[in-house]
Amino acid sequence: MACPQASEMVSIAGGEYRPLYINKDFPKTKVKAFLLDIDLVTNQQFYQFVRRNLQWEKNQIPSIFTEEGYLKHWSNKSEHWQPNVQIEDLPVTNVSWFSADAFCRAEGKRLLTVDEWEYVARASKKHINGNKEESYNQRILDWYSKPQSSLASSTLKANYNFWGVNQLHGVVWEWTEDFNSSLVNGESRNDSSIDSKLFCAAGAAGSADPSNYAAFMRFGFRSSLQAKFTLGSLGFRCAK
Amino acid sequence: MRIFLLLIAVTFIGNLNAAKLPVEKAILTAPPMVPPQITRKHPAKVIIKMETVEKIGTITDGVEYVYWSFDGTVPGSFIRVREGDEIEFHLSNNPESKMPHNIDLHAVTGPGGGATSSFTASGHTSVFSFKALNPGLFIYHCATAPVGMHIANGMYGLILVEPKEGMTPVDKEYYVVQGDFYTKGKYGEAGLQAFDMQKAINEEPDYVVFNGSVGSMVGDKALTAHKGETVRLFVGNGGPNLVSSFHVIGEIFDKVYIEGGTAINKNVQTTLVPAGGSAIVEFKLDVPGNFIMVDHSIFRAFNKGALGIISVDGDKEPDIYSGKQADKVYLPEGSTVQDVGGKTTKAAFAQSKSERIRFGKRVYESNCQACHQADGSGIKSAFPPLAISDYLNNDPKLAIKAIQQGLRGKITVNGEVYDSEMPAMRLSHEDTANVVTYILNSWGNKGGEVTLEDVANQGH
């Protein structure tokens, strides 16, 4: 195995944006400048982390930090769980928030906040704010409406946005540092209080952009998670 | 002593009520089948386990769609419980799902109809319990944001809460749920079609179907019954947008449980099924045949797929329905289209022989076909044949004359004598030229072309 390469990062300039749940009349949310991994963390990189930190191995990890499906797509070879060669360079999935957080810390980095993720992810190829582009949201919605197919290098396409960050959309959902702080409660029709950032689906009077269904779905998705969950459609990247 | 025994008895019975209910696992069925009627006369604790599944399916030939579903079908499994039952609901979200899902059952009295308590990430299960307080036929659906999209992709089904006294037995019960679908491409456009949010907002569906796809209950998938049986349909409407005008062609609903509730209407032709609502219809099959379920907002039935068939076998009942008893000619004087005055657009004139044939066909169908038949064979002893007719092929001008001036008296065609009267047809010169050209070039006739001059030369 080659020496692990810490993922390359790009610099994201500070700015402001309006999160979905903040009313138009309220000031925008400020995002400070930060560094962000260009790519999602891969199976290979995560494997290197586990080899150096055996307490995060599938057999060792305490059950409060994850659940049964942890790294279930890796193979059990000679007492170690490791990814097959074919999936080494694919984004790692089936990891809990705790393990993702530990990985980033081990690299002197951290998980990014929801605000930071949404701020960077709304960029299209050409613009910092892709929401103005006609098909931008629809393309994202199209991915959300397809079932999760298994990741394969043949189907993964590079998708660098304005900031030079790759595959923020169309590959996997991503863990964020504070995913559980903006909640949809399970009942998506009577959420309306701005204080607790709850909102109603499609046509919510309180939301900044009722047509941004993609954002609704991301917020909905994040609300269904708990930190120990592992999903085959959920990976992560790190920030600084 | 008696009072003491009475006290013990009362305590015992009181404890019985507080004692646990018998536990049973619900029988769930895939559409169009329905679980058997409930026979027990007491409440039970019913365990229901359902799974949300996202999968690609066929909405019509050549067209695929990513369905989000309960238990892999659209509509999802049919749930049948009894008024007063305590239901323990386990909702699992398949690990392959991309989205979180939940369930709102309209039978639930409680926040979100269960949605608040069943919000489930993929690869996980939520459990919640509720008591079925009201009897009726209720829709259930996913209520995860954006709700309209989850419903539009097929996440709905029916739960029946039978009243305490039960329902009257019938011979056949079936499960039919209407839904509207919104795709990027038009109706029938091939390939994997994505959901179109804008069309859904505009309430402009491309597909309106029963049980999730065009033709779901057609051909070998038609619902079946025998003449003499009473059929009960549990009809739901998942929407997301349209209201249904549910009708069975050739039948009348003897009984309608209005909106799936307790009130009963009788002798109803078409009943409304609200979006997110239901109706129960019952009818006795008095004659055999194919009876077609439709949404009587009729373009939905014939152009978008809201059509299903109930195929009924059995002996005919001619007193109730005779079938066609006669097929006679109806030919009043002046059979061409009457001019009612006012502006008429100038008709196009044929520019070539092939155009004459094409235009002439239309003229033939409107004016000649009733007697001379679509294949030019005529009717024996009444109307001479035009196909391979020696009378016509020897001298086509006779045809022009017959059309323009009529024809009375004996003529011999292909060896048969006809002594009839053909009225003058009042066709324009252009139409005459076209129709005779068409006749000459059809059914084995010798061909050729009749021009405007030919017609004019015949005099009028």
Going along chain A from its start, the domains and CATH numbers come out as: 9-239 (3.90.1580.10)
Residues B218 and B208: their CA atoms lie apart, in Å, by 15
Residue B357, pLDDT > 60, answer yes
The count of other CB atoms within 10 Å of the CB of residue B452 is: 15
Ranges B74-88, B122-136, B241-255, B334-348: which has the least confidence: B334-348
- pLDDT for res A4: 47
Opening angle at CA B452, ends B450 and B454, nearest 5: 60
Q: Strand, helix or coil at B195?
A: strand
- pLDDT for res B341: 59
Tokens of B347: 């008709």
Closest residue to B119, CB basis, from A190, A224, A229 = A224
Cβ contact, residue pair A186, B117, below 8 Å:
yes
Residues of chain B with pLDDT > 90: what percent?
A: 65
- pLDDT for res A195: 34
Taking CA atoms, A51 is separated from A55, A92, B42, in Å, by 9, 15, 60
Please indicate if any CB of chain A lies within 8 Å of the CB of B116: yes
Closest residue to B195, CB basis, from A145, A184, A188 = A145
Taking CA atoms, A222 is separated from A173, A178, B108, B384, in Å, by 9, 10, 26, 80
Which DSSP state fits B246? Answer: E
Cβ contact, residue pair A147, B197, below 8 Å:
no
pLDDT digits (tens, 9 = 90+) for A7-28: 799 999 999 888 776 666 777 8
ipTM of the complex: 0.79
How many whole angstroms from its chain centre is CA A74?
20
Residue A75 burial by Cβ neighbours in a 10 Å radius (0-12, 13-18, 19+):
exposed
Cβ contact, residue pair A145, B194, below 8 Å:
yes
Q: Which residue of B has its CA nearest to A68?
A: B123
Residue A200, pLDDT > 60, answer no
Query: Could you tell me which residue, B349 or B430, shows the higher pLDDT?
Result: B430
Cβ contact, residue pair A187, B197, below 8 Å:
no
Query: Could you tell me which residue, A145 or B257, shows the higher pLDDT?
Result: B257
Opening angle at CA B260, ends B82 and B148, nearest 5: 105
Closest CA to B137 of B269, B34, B12: B34
CA distance A239 to chain B (A): 25
- pLDDT for res B346: 57
The residues near A65 (Cβ < 8 Å, ≥ 6 apart) are: A96, A98, A99, A228
Please, which pLDDT band fits residue A45 given cuts at 50, 70 and 90?
very high
Residues B159 and B35: their CA atoms lie apart, in Å, by 11
Taking CA atoms, B65 is separated from A40, B94, B141, B192, B357, in Å, by 30, 18, 19, 6, 44
Q: Which residue of A has its CA nearest to B52?
A: A147
Which DSSP state fits A160? Answer: B
The residues near B194 (Cβ < 8 Å, ≥ 6 apart) are: A141, A142, A145, B66, B183, B184
Q: Strand, helix or coil at B357?
A: helix
Residues of chain A with pLDDT > 70: what percent?
A: 80
Amino acid at B110: G
Average confidence (pLDDT) over A41-49? 95
Q: Strand, helix or coil at A80?
A: strand
pLDDT digits (tens, 9 = 90+) for B4-57: 777 776 666 555 554 689 999 999 999 999 999 999 999 999 999 999 999 999
Mutate to test the interface with B, among A224, A228, A230, A234 (most CBs of B within 10 A): A224
Residue A54, pLDDT > 60, answer yes
Residues of chain B with pLDDT > 70: what percent?
A: 94
Q: Name chain B contacts of A186, Cβ cutoff 8 Å.
A: 102, 112, 115-119, 143-144
Cβ contact, residue pair B96, A69, below 8 Å:
no
CA distance A102 to chain B (A): 23
Query: Could you tell me which residue, B286 or A132, shows the higher pLDDT?
Result: B286
The residues near B219 (Cβ < 8 Å, ≥ 6 apart) are: B309
Please indicate if any CB of chain A lies within 8 Å of the CB of B145: yes
For strands B191-193 and B63-70, give the pairing: parallel
Residues A177 and A161: their CA atoms lie apart, in Å, by 22
Residues A54, A60 contacting (CB under 8 angstroms): yes
Q: Name chain B contacts of A213, Cβ cutoff 8 Å.
A: 146, 149, 197
Tokens of A237: 């990247």
* Residues of A at the B interface, defined by Cβ within 8 angstroms: 69, 138, 141-142, 144-148, 173, 184-190, 200-202, 213, 216-217, 219-221, 223-226, 229-233
Residues B338 and B202: their CA atoms lie apart, in Å, by 43
pLDDT digits (tens, 9 = 90+) for B381-439: 788 999 999 998 888 889 998 888 888 888 899 988 888 888 888 788 888 999 999 99
Q: Strand, helix or coil at B223?
A: strand
Q: Strand, helix or coil at B261?
A: coil
Q: To the nearest whole number, what is the mean pLDDT of chain B? A: 91
CA distance A9 to chain B (A): 28
Cβ contact, residue pair A145, B117, below 8 Å:
no
- pLDDT for res B338: 60
pLDDT digits (tens, 9 = 90+) for B216-265: 999 999 999 999 999 999 999 999 999 999 999 999 999 999 999 999 99
Q: Which residue of A has its CA nearest to B117?
A: A186
- pLDDT for res B19: 60
User: What is the H or E stretch that residue B226 is in?
Assistant: strand B223-226
Mutate to test the interface with B, among A72, A171, A188, A230 (most CBs of B within 10 A): A188
The residues near A77 (Cβ < 8 Å, ≥ 6 apart) are: none
Residue B133, pLDDT > 60, answer yes
Instruction: Please tell me the pTM assigned to this model.
Output: 0.73
pLDDT digits (tens, 9 = 90+) for A62-116: 989 999 889 999 998 777 889 988 889 999 999 999 999 999 999 999 999 999 9
Residue B380, pLDDT > 60, answer yes
Residues B413, B394 contacting (CB under 8 angstroms): no
Cβ contact, residue pair A188, B145, below 8 Å:
yes
Opening angle at CA B235, ends B230 and B240, nearest 5: 170
Cβ contact, residue pair B95, A186, below 8 Å:
no
Tokens of A70: 């942890």
Q: Name chain A contacts of B111, Cβ cutoff 8 Å.
A: 187
Please, which pLDDT band fits residue B347 given cuts at 50, 70 and 90?
low
Q: Name chain A contacts of B110, Cβ cutoff 8 Å.
A: none
Q: Name chain A contacts of B143, Cβ cutoff 8 Å.
A: 186-189
For strands B230-239 and B172-181, give the pairing: parallel
Instruction: Show the DSSP H helices in B226-382 as ranges.
Output: 298-303, 353-367, 369-372
CA distance B280 to chain A (A): 28
Closest residue to A146, CB basis, from B66, B119, B120 = B66
Residues A173 and A171: their CA atoms lie apart, in Å, by 7
Q: What is the rounded radius of gyration, in angstroms, for the C-alpha atoms of chain B? A: 33
Residues B252 and B266: their CA atoms lie apart, in Å, by 9
Q: Name chain B contacts of A226, Cβ cutoff 8 Å.
A: 121
Residue A197, pLDDT > 80, answer no
The residues near A105 (Cβ < 8 Å, ≥ 6 apart) are: none
